[in-house]
Structure 1
């Protein structure tokens, strides 16, 4: 298979995968054989790509040009109005928390290569769950700090992030409350597919430093029940709780009303699975760029609770985007 411009590849954790052998939308393939790159859009479209050649290597490079002017799917007044709508829904008991997002878009040069952007992100904004993928009709450069699902055999780990500031002093009681709500949601999601009594929380609201900001991060662990695999894990836990809200079904319905464009790979899942070794890691698709229709897109958002200030939440979305947009602009 060929994009007509450059060979397909996936890069994550110092490993380069080339030689595209298979592409499927069936997550059961992740329990079969081989090394797979995985991209799941927030809307649930799954792409699993098996590669023949997987080896340690530096990140591939390619031509990159700064994108044009950015536009947002929600401007500041619209975003702040959305925050107020969510606060009203919380007052009415519809949701406890919801993650309101917006998608930024900018025109890019025809010869701009996602490999070039991925290499620049790796140098300028290193992230623990970064991944770059180029497939037919799909080009993604992700610098995610957030682990959605890691699997080693039957052992599963999720590390939801809620709470963001420039420094630890910026974190508020609202951030901790938001984190605890999402941890409860993740526990419940994993509980649908976990063995009885195996879900635990070994780390709660720990402060982590990342380029340009800090996050509150918690760790949830479980062991999946016998007979369960990747399809059951995804069905029980997707979309990730940290980018939806609680209760999840109510938050999803509310966000569909408030967000004018699809999120795409942003807030979905991006990562790899080694089916032979029965291990893999999928990131929450935040801090993520993707190419679509001659545009470079990037999503940013914030978790809204009753204690949210609309202006502060808008600025949180700007903070999360700022460093990544600087890197993309060279």
Structure 2
């Protein structure tokens, strides 16, 4: 992660309180709340480990285009009824793992061909993840915490619509409220609102929320107050979670959860939102993609946004070197 190589696995726990103890921890929290904290003894600068990577088989998706479009319309109906203002509808794609494939090999390919500010490759017993996340869920430096939610995606800045800015502002309000539950009164600020960030193959609108934690509030309290990340759920969060549980047929797993590191000794850390993320499960390589739905959403356009977000990452995993290839041509739109 970020030029840091951690080896010498010393401990694995599901207790978030361990992040307030000692040592350097890799952290994965699934969208459903399963916690993995892995402490390593040897941590320092290092090159990404190599590994054999074999392209996966053909991709299936938990929601095909017709089902996804119906889901978008259901969310728009819920907005009209006043149940939610916004919800992030996601689908999980799966393909058979290539025989002899090593997740470290995929992580290395991602680091070389799709660099991302919060990229991470993790391999511990029972969990293998390769992420190229561009989105900061929570960073902590002592008592100062920061979140940088992403909402609004296009191939270029000209593709961004008023709907994208409205969506971003709604989620910023949600994140401010979440962080405010564990922050000193009056310390929550928004230093940057709807800034344009460029990433491989697309652009995003990104905002920054910053605060100072109240005394006695650490990682367990921060996650309890803010998880799952607001940018991948919706607003109001509780209503959006209920609606998404109705519409999404499979668990999201590490996708849309939290992926990152914590140095308990220095009270520093950074957890990314688990987007642009692959993980291995039951002989399958899985990958999630989604889009934020508002009243202004056009269902077919939202489906295309999920394809745009996935396309370059699946090309890296396939090893074909293509760019801009429509996912339907790869069979990824089949249920």
> What band does the TM-score fall into relative to the shorter chain?
over 0.9
Q: Note if 1:186 corresponds to 2:193.
A: no
- Deviations 1:212-263 (CA, angstroms, capped at 9, x unpaired): 0000000000000000100000000000000000000000000000000000
Instruction: Tell me, in whole angstroms, the C-alpha distance in 2 between the residues paired with 1:144 and 1:75.
Output: 24
How far the C-alpha of 1:110 sits from its partner, in A, is: 3.5
Q: d(CA) in 2 for partners of 1:181 and 1:114? A: 36
Q: Are 2:43 and 1:54 aligned?
A: yes
Residue 111 of structure 1 and its aligned partner are, at CA, apart by: 1.4
Q: Report whether the alignment pairs 1:276 with 2:236.
A: no
Selected match of 1:222 from 200, 206, 211 = 211
**Aligned partners of 1:61 and 1:192: how far apart in 2?**
42
Aligned to 2:129: 140
Offset at residue 80 of structure 1 (A): 0.2
1:122 equivalent to 2:94? Answer no
Counterparts of 2:135 and 2:197, CA distance in 1: 11
User: How far 1:108 moved relative to its partner?
Assistant: 1.1
> TM-score w.r.t. structure 2 length?
0.95
SS of residue paired to 1:144: coil
Report the aligned-residue RMSD. Answer: 0.4
The one-character-per-residue Cα deviations of 1:138-176 (angstroms, maximum 9, x if unpaired) are: 000000000000000000000000000000000000000
Residues 67 and 328 in structure 1, CA contact (< 8 A), matched pair in contact too: yes
2:304 to 293, 310, 315: 315
With the length of structure 1 as denominator, give the TM-score of the two structures.
Answer: 0.96
Q: Find the aligned partners of 1:228 and 1:285 in 2 and give their Cα distance.
A: 23
Distance 1:255 1:150 in 2: 27
Residue of structure 1 in register with 2:248 after alignment: 259
Mapping of residues 280-299 of structure 1, within 5 Å? 280-299=269-288
2:54 and 2:99 in contact (8 A); partners too: no
Per-residue CA deviation, residues 20-56 of structure 1 (Å, 9 max, x unaligned), is 0000000010010000000000000000000000010
Corresponding residue of 2:86: 97
The structure 1 residue matched to 2:138, chosen from 149, 167, 177, is 149
Tell me the distance in 2 between the aligned counterparts of 1:21 and 1:234.
Answer: 24
Residue 326 of structure 1 is matched in structure 2 by: 315
Give ranges in structure 2 of 5+ residues lacking alignment.
Answer: 320-335
Would you say 1:74 and 2:63 are equivalent positions?
Answer: yes
CA contact (8 A) 1:110 1:294 kept: no
Measured against aligned partners, the alpha-carbon deviations of 1:178-212 in whole angstroms (never above 9, x if no partner) come to: 00000000000000000000000000000000000
Kept in 1: contact 2:117–2:134 (CA 8 A): yes
Output the CA distance in 1 between the equivalents of 2:41 and 2:57: 36
> Which whole-Å CA distance do the structure 2 matches of 1:89 and 1:293 have between them?
35
User: 2: distance between equivalents of 1:296 and 1:108?
Assistant: 5
> CA separation in 2, counterparts of 1:195 and 1:110?
52
Partner of 2:152: 163
Counterpart contact for 1:14–1:59, Cα < 8 Å? yes
CA distance in 2 between partners of 1:113 and 1:55 (Å): 22
Partner SS, residue 225 of structure 1? coil
1:109 is displaced (CA, Å) by 2.3
